[in-house]
Amino acid sequence: MRLDTAGVAEAIGVFISGWNEHDLVRHFSVFAEDADFVDVVGRRLRGRAAMFADQSARHAQRFAESSVRTLDLDIRMVRDDVALVHYQWEMVGDRGPDGTGHGVRRGIFTFTLCREADTWLVVAAHNTESVV
Protein backbone atom coordinates (compact mmCIF):
# COMPACT_ATOMS: atom_id res chain seq x y z
CA MET A 1 0.00 0.00 0.00
CA ARG A 2 1.34 3.42 -0.95
CA LEU A 3 1.02 5.64 2.10
CA ASP A 4 0.52 9.22 0.94
CA THR A 5 -0.14 10.88 4.25
CA ALA A 6 1.81 13.98 3.13
CA GLY A 7 -0.62 14.56 0.26
CA VAL A 8 -3.60 14.11 2.57
CA ALA A 9 -2.11 16.51 5.13
CA GLU A 10 -1.50 19.02 2.34
CA ALA A 11 -5.18 18.91 1.33
CA ILE A 12 -6.26 19.50 4.94
CA GLY A 13 -3.72 22.33 5.12
CA VAL A 14 -5.39 24.01 2.12
CA PHE A 15 -8.76 23.63 3.86
CA ILE A 16 -7.39 25.33 6.99
CA SER A 17 -5.41 28.09 5.27
CA GLY A 18 -8.35 28.88 2.99
CA TRP A 19 -10.48 29.50 6.09
CA ASN A 20 -7.82 31.59 7.81
CA GLU A 21 -7.20 33.66 4.66
CA HIS A 22 -10.98 34.10 4.26
CA ASP A 23 -10.73 32.57 0.80
CA LEU A 24 -13.65 30.18 0.60
CA VAL A 25 -12.89 29.21 -3.00
CA ARG A 26 -9.53 27.87 -1.77
CA HIS A 27 -11.10 26.49 1.42
CA PHE A 28 -13.60 24.34 -0.51
CA SER A 29 -11.25 23.55 -3.42
CA VAL A 30 -10.24 20.32 -1.64
CA PHE A 31 -13.82 19.01 -1.77
CA ALA A 32 -15.07 16.85 -4.63
CA GLU A 33 -17.84 18.48 -6.66
CA ASP A 34 -20.36 15.99 -5.23
CA ALA A 35 -19.00 15.84 -1.66
CA ASP A 36 -21.24 15.48 1.38
CA PHE A 37 -20.79 17.72 4.41
CA VAL A 38 -22.55 17.62 7.76
CA ASP A 39 -21.91 20.93 9.48
CA VAL A 40 -21.43 21.63 13.16
CA VAL A 41 -25.17 22.10 13.75
CA GLY A 42 -26.12 18.89 11.96
CA ARG A 43 -27.22 20.22 8.57
CA ARG A 44 -26.28 18.07 5.57
CA LEU A 45 -25.01 19.93 2.52
CA ARG A 46 -24.52 18.13 -0.77
CA GLY A 47 -21.94 19.33 -3.25
CA ARG A 48 -19.17 21.90 -3.21
CA ALA A 49 -21.45 24.61 -4.65
CA ALA A 50 -23.99 24.18 -1.83
CA MET A 51 -21.24 24.32 0.79
CA PHE A 52 -19.77 27.46 -0.73
CA ALA A 53 -23.17 29.18 -0.98
CA ASP A 54 -24.04 28.30 2.60
CA GLN A 55 -20.76 29.42 4.13
CA SER A 56 -20.18 32.55 2.02
CA ALA A 57 -22.85 34.63 3.77
CA ARG A 58 -21.85 33.33 7.20
CA HIS A 59 -18.17 33.91 6.54
CA ALA A 60 -18.76 37.49 5.44
CA GLN A 61 -20.48 38.25 8.77
CA ARG A 62 -20.12 35.88 11.69
CA PHE A 63 -16.77 34.34 10.70
CA ALA A 64 -15.19 37.40 9.06
CA GLU A 65 -12.53 37.70 11.76
CA SER A 66 -12.30 34.05 12.73
CA SER A 67 -9.28 31.80 12.52
CA VAL A 68 -8.68 28.15 13.26
CA ARG A 69 -5.65 26.25 14.41
CA THR A 70 -4.87 22.58 14.53
CA LEU A 71 -4.92 20.83 17.88
CA ASP A 72 -4.38 17.38 16.37
CA LEU A 73 -4.33 15.79 12.93
CA ASP A 74 -4.64 12.01 12.67
CA ILE A 75 -4.47 10.38 9.23
CA ARG A 76 -5.26 6.73 8.66
CA MET A 77 -4.82 5.24 5.22
CA VAL A 78 -7.75 2.89 4.61
CA ARG A 79 -6.41 1.98 1.17
CA ASP A 80 -3.73 3.56 -0.98
CA ASP A 81 -6.41 5.84 -2.48
CA VAL A 82 -8.68 6.38 0.57
CA ALA A 83 -7.84 8.20 3.79
CA LEU A 84 -9.75 8.77 7.01
CA VAL A 85 -8.77 11.96 8.83
CA HIS A 86 -9.66 13.28 12.26
CA TYR A 87 -8.81 16.96 12.56
CA GLN A 88 -9.19 18.58 15.99
CA TRP A 89 -9.58 22.33 15.68
CA GLU A 90 -9.76 25.45 17.80
CA MET A 91 -11.44 28.63 16.58
CA VAL A 92 -11.24 32.20 17.81
CA GLY A 93 -12.94 35.29 16.41
CA ASP A 94 -16.41 33.78 15.87
CA ARG A 95 -18.88 36.62 16.42
CA GLY A 96 -21.69 34.18 17.16
CA PRO A 97 -25.18 34.26 15.67
CA ASP A 98 -26.10 37.39 17.63
CA GLY A 99 -22.82 39.22 16.91
CA THR A 100 -21.60 39.27 20.51
CA GLY A 101 -18.84 36.71 20.14
CA HIS A 102 -18.35 33.10 21.09
CA GLY A 103 -14.91 33.04 22.68
CA VAL A 104 -12.84 29.96 21.96
CA ARG A 105 -14.55 27.03 20.23
CA ARG A 106 -13.17 23.54 19.77
CA GLY A 107 -14.28 20.56 17.77
CA ILE A 108 -13.34 17.74 15.46
CA PHE A 109 -13.81 17.15 11.76
CA THR A 110 -13.93 13.65 10.34
CA PHE A 111 -12.93 13.65 6.67
CA THR A 112 -12.93 10.88 4.10
CA LEU A 113 -10.61 11.68 1.21
CA CYS A 114 -10.07 9.83 -2.07
CA ARG A 115 -7.15 10.21 -4.42
CA GLU A 116 -8.16 11.23 -7.94
CA ALA A 117 -5.05 10.90 -10.12
CA ASP A 118 -2.50 12.77 -7.95
CA THR A 119 -5.02 14.93 -6.10
CA TRP A 120 -6.63 14.19 -2.75
CA LEU A 121 -10.26 15.31 -2.50
CA VAL A 122 -12.67 15.28 0.41
CA VAL A 123 -15.69 13.16 -0.49
CA ALA A 124 -17.34 13.38 2.94
CA ALA A 125 -16.89 15.51 6.04
CA HIS A 126 -18.61 15.76 9.40
CA ASN A 127 -17.91 18.59 11.85
CA THR A 128 -18.72 18.22 15.55
CA GLU A 129 -18.22 20.90 18.18
CA SER A 130 -16.94 19.92 21.59
CA VAL A 131 -19.27 21.08 24.34
CA VAL A 132 -16.95 20.34 27.26
Distance, CA of 52 to CA of 34 (rounded, Å) = 12
Query: pLDDT tens, 32-77?
Result: 999 999 999 999 999 999 999 999 988 889 999 999 999 999 999 9
The sheet with strand 82-92 has its strands ordered as: 44-46, 31-38, 119-129, 105-116, 82-92, 67-79
**Span 15-23, mean pLDDT?**
96
User: What's the chain's average pLDDT?
Assistant: 94
Q: Which one has a higher pLDDT value, 131 or 105?
A: 105
How many other CB atoms are there within 10 angstroms of residue 3's CB atom?
11
How many other CB atoms are there within 10 angstroms of residue 100's CB atom?
7
| pTM score, whole prediction | 0.92
Q: What is the pLDDT of residue 132?
A: 66
* Partners of residue 90 on adjacent β-strands: 69, 106
Q: Is CATH 1.10.287.540 the right assignment for the domain spanning 5-129?
A: no
Query: pLDDT tens, 7-18?
Result: 999 999 999 999
